[in-house]
């Protein structure tokens, strides 16, 4: 049955009578990918990409169906490891995504692709463009804030990272999300060596989450797990060690006394 569905999708290179039916055919191809493994999965993914490309080729224009088709093409190319074609398809999505939520999604994905290629400046430009998209969702804005912070953190610019993590925390949609933002913010301040500020923000985190972690609820259990794996405590500990080691070296420059 699965093989027949894939073969049908592969052979369907003709134009459907409507945009809706062309898109429905592409979605059938996408569904046929489920459950495949190995070479069969690769073949199915490629056929699915062809099917979504047919939507764009046969029914060009601006609209949610075209935007989603370009976005799905990009996702498939990314899954196949073709970053170049994925980037091109996400850019194509932006061109036809006016009035849809696929525009901010494409911007975030473009940022991720660029970030993985260590093109930090270009990645952050894409993340910032999310805020300019009309009617952007708060979830997408917060994703952009998170990744702007993490990008600055990756290039060792702790103060700039802390600004974005703070903005993320202030607009967080849940206590757990705010805790995640604070965890990153503490790490950012520790990176700068500002131990006092790091400790202040860690105090805010614990005041917020410690009481919630005691509640017998799904959220309480999730917060308990988060508190066990958060990285800010270790980052602050390391920052204090570095600060203390620097003081010792300043007083006792003899390496034999400090190493």
Domain-located, residue 237: yes
What tokens were used for 40?
Answer: 């069969």
Q: What is the C-alpha to C-alpha distance for residues 164 and 184, in angstroms, rounded to an integer?
A: 10
Domain-located, residue 229: yes
Domain range enclosing 194: 158-244
Q: What is the C-alpha to C-alpha distance for residues 2 and 69, in angstroms, rounded to an integer?
A: 22
The pLDDT tens digits of the residues spanning 195-231 come to 999 999 999 999 999 999 999 999 999 999 999 999 9
Domain-located, residue 182: yes
Instruction: Show the CA angle centred on residue 52, arms to residues 48 and 57, nearest 5°.
Output: 140
Q: Is the dihedral of CA 7, 13, 14, 18 positive or negative?
A: positive
Q: What is the C-alpha to C-alpha distance for residues 99 and 35, in angstroms, rounded to an integer?
A: 34
The pLDDT tens digits of the residues spanning 150-174 come to 999 999 999 999 999 999 999 999 9
The pLDDT tens digits of the residues spanning 100-144 come to 999 999 999 999 999 999 999 999 999 999 999 999 999 999 999
Domain-located, residue 37: no
The pLDDT tens digits of the residues spanning 173-187 come to 999 999 999 999 999
Domain-located, residue 180: yes
Domain-located, residue 52: no
Domain-located, residue 221: yes
At residue 246, the pLDDT reads 52
Domain-located, residue 169: yes
- Give the chain's domain count: 1
């Amino acid at each position: 049955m699965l093989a027949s569905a894939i073969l049908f999708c592969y052979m369907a290179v003709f134009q459907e009578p409507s945009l809706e039916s062309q898109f429905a055919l592409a979605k059938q191809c996408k569904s046929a990918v489920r459950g495949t493994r190995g070479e069969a999965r690769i073949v199915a993914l490629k056929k699915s990409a062809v099917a979504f490309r047919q939507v764009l080729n046969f029914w060009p224009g601006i609209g949610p169906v075209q935007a989603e088709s370009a976005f799905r093409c990009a996702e498939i190319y990314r899954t196949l490891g073709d970053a170049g074609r994925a980037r091109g398809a996400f850019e194509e999505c932006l061109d036809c995504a006016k009035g849809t939520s696929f525009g901010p999604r494409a911007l975030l994905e473009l940022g991720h692709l660029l970030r993985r290629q260590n093109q930090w400046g270009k990645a952050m430009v894409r993340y910032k463009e999310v805020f300019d998209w009309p009617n952007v969702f708060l979830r997408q804005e917060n994703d952009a804030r998170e990744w702007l912070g993490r990008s600055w953190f990756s290039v060792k610019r702790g103060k700039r990272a802390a600004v974005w993590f703070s903005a993320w925390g202030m607009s967080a949609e849940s206590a757990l999300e705010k805790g995640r933002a604070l965890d990153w913010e503490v790490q950012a301040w520790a990176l700068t060596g500002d131990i006092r500020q790091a400790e202040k923000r860690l105090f805010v985190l614990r005041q917020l989450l410690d009481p919630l972690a005691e509640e017998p609820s799904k959220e309480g259990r999730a917060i308990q797990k988060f508190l066990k794996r958060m990285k800010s405590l270790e980052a602050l500990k390391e920052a204090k060690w570095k600060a203390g080691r620097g003081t010792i070296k300043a007083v006792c420059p003899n390496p034999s006394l400090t190493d």
